[in-house]
Amino acid sequence: MLRERASRRLAGTPRPFLKWAGSKRALLPHIVAALPHAYGTYYEPFLGSASLFFLLRPTRALLTDSCPELIESFKAVRDNVQAVLRYIRPLKPNRELFYTLRSQRSTGRYKRTAEFIYLNKTCWNGLYRVNSRGEFNVPYGRPSTDRVIDEANLRTCSSALGGPYVELRCCDFESALSNVSRGDLVFLDPPYVTRHNNNGFIDYNERLFSWADQLRLAGIARSLADRGAHVIVANAYHQEIVELYEGFHVTRVDRFSTLASKSSKRGIVTEAIFSPGGTEKARG
């Protein structure tokens, strides 16, 4: 049942209400195959669009990210989805409106969240990027539909986030994982870009997620697995990364990427799903 739902990405609710570069919606069927039959608290320290959380709807969860505006938006949807919807309903895809809102953000909590969702859904490829002053600077993306948000889905997302044992927090991943216990489920999906050769992987991704952070993350993943937690890691299938997770089961997954601005630069990318074990499988 869960695998079937994971394969129907555009059907059912809740499903992500944000687009997010690096989202694992396309990999959900493969991630589901690595899930334990039962687990305690669910931990996701690189939240993004929260595709796995919305699929699983765990009773107990700690959801964190280092992006303050992302976490504040999730909290606003959780706390008062009607207020967010009231502000977002009048907003329609429009280049002039997009750049006005991008440069003149509101300070009110729910209105700002509505603007964040609007900018996310109408910018290029759902990319979140800020300049040196912390200002969102992704260009308008010419969306193909006038519908900015699925209201019924957003309400269901609010309900899922509003569980009494679901916590949202903005913090570093190491801090988020400090209280993981035996039997808990930890999903680790750090930022990375795959379309470049193995030799350039470290330099290319240093601005997204430093190699020192990759080393720190792999060490924590191994420590949590040794402690008896269920650990699943999604990362690039590159030699440098695979070596960090020696002793883990590796599932290699090929998928089509649409992130590049030019169709000629799009194509098959290879990613890896690591879980405690010791063999490798390839899936397309």
Q: What is the CATH number of the domain that holds 138?
A: 1.10.1020.10
Q: Which pLDDT score is estimated for 127?
A: 83
Range of the domain at 54: 2-66+171-283
Whether residues 50 and 94 share a domain: the answer is no
Domain count, the chain: 2
Measured CA to CA, the distance from residue 159 to residue 244 in angstroms comes to 38
- Tell me the residue length of the chain: 284
Whether residues 205 and 272 share a domain: the answer is yes
pTM for the model: 0.90
Whether residues 124 and 197 share a domain: the answer is no
Most confident of 27-31, 268-272, 277-281: 27-31
Measured CA to CA, the distance from residue 64 to residue 44 in angstroms comes to 6
Whether residues 183 and 254 share a domain: the answer is yes
- Which domain-ending residue is among 126, 154, 182? 154
Q: Do 34 and 138 touch, CB atoms closer than 8 A? A: no
Tell me what the mean pLDDT of segment 194-210 comes to.
63
Measured CA to CA, the distance from residue 166 to residue 75 in angstroms comes to 11
Q: Which pLDDT score is estimated for 23?
A: 73
The answer to whether residue 20 scores a pLDDT higher than 90 is no
Measured CA to CA, the distance from residue 48 to residue 231 in angstroms comes to 18
Within a domain: 15: yes
pLDDT tens-place string over residues 37-48: 999 999 999 999
Q: Which of 72-86, 195-209, 212-226, 237-251 has the lowest mean pLDDT?
A: 195-209
Q: Which pLDDT score is estimated for 262?
A: 47
Within a domain: 26: yes
Q: Do 32 and 138 touch, CB atoms closer than 8 A? A: no
Whether residues 61 and 134 share a domain: the answer is no
Within a domain: 23: yes
Within a domain: 206: yes
The answer to whether residue 171 scores a pLDDT higher than 50 is yes
Give the position of tokens 């190699």.
Answer: 211
Q: Which of 7-11, 34-38, 139-143, 242-246 has the lowest mean pLDDT?
A: 7-11
pLDDT tens-place string over residues 212-251: 999 999 999 999 999 999 999 999 898 989 999 999 999 9
The answer to whether residue 279 scores a pLDDT higher than 70 is no
Q: Which pLDDT score is estimated for 278?
A: 59
Whether residues 193 and 216 share a domain: the answer is yes
Token pair for 194: 């795959």
Token pair for 163: 């569980």
Higher pLDDT, 62 or 192: 62
pLDDT tens-place string over residues 99-127: 999 999 999 999 999 999 999 999 988 88
Count the Cβ atoms, other than its own, within 10 Å of residue 96.
8
Measured CA to CA, the distance from residue 122 to residue 99 in angstroms comes to 11
Whether residues 145 and 6 share a domain: the answer is no
Measured CA to CA, the distance from residue 162 to residue 72 in angstroms comes to 14
Whether residues 259 and 136 share a domain: the answer is no
Within a domain: 243: yes
Among positive and negative, which fits the CA dihedral 236, 176, 24, 49? negative
Q: Which of 2-16, 103-117, 152-166, 169-183 has the lowest mean pLDDT?
A: 2-16
Q: Where are the alpha helices (DSSP H) in 104-206?
A: 109-122, 151-161, 173-176, 201-205
> Which three-class secondary structure state does DSSP give residue 201?
helix
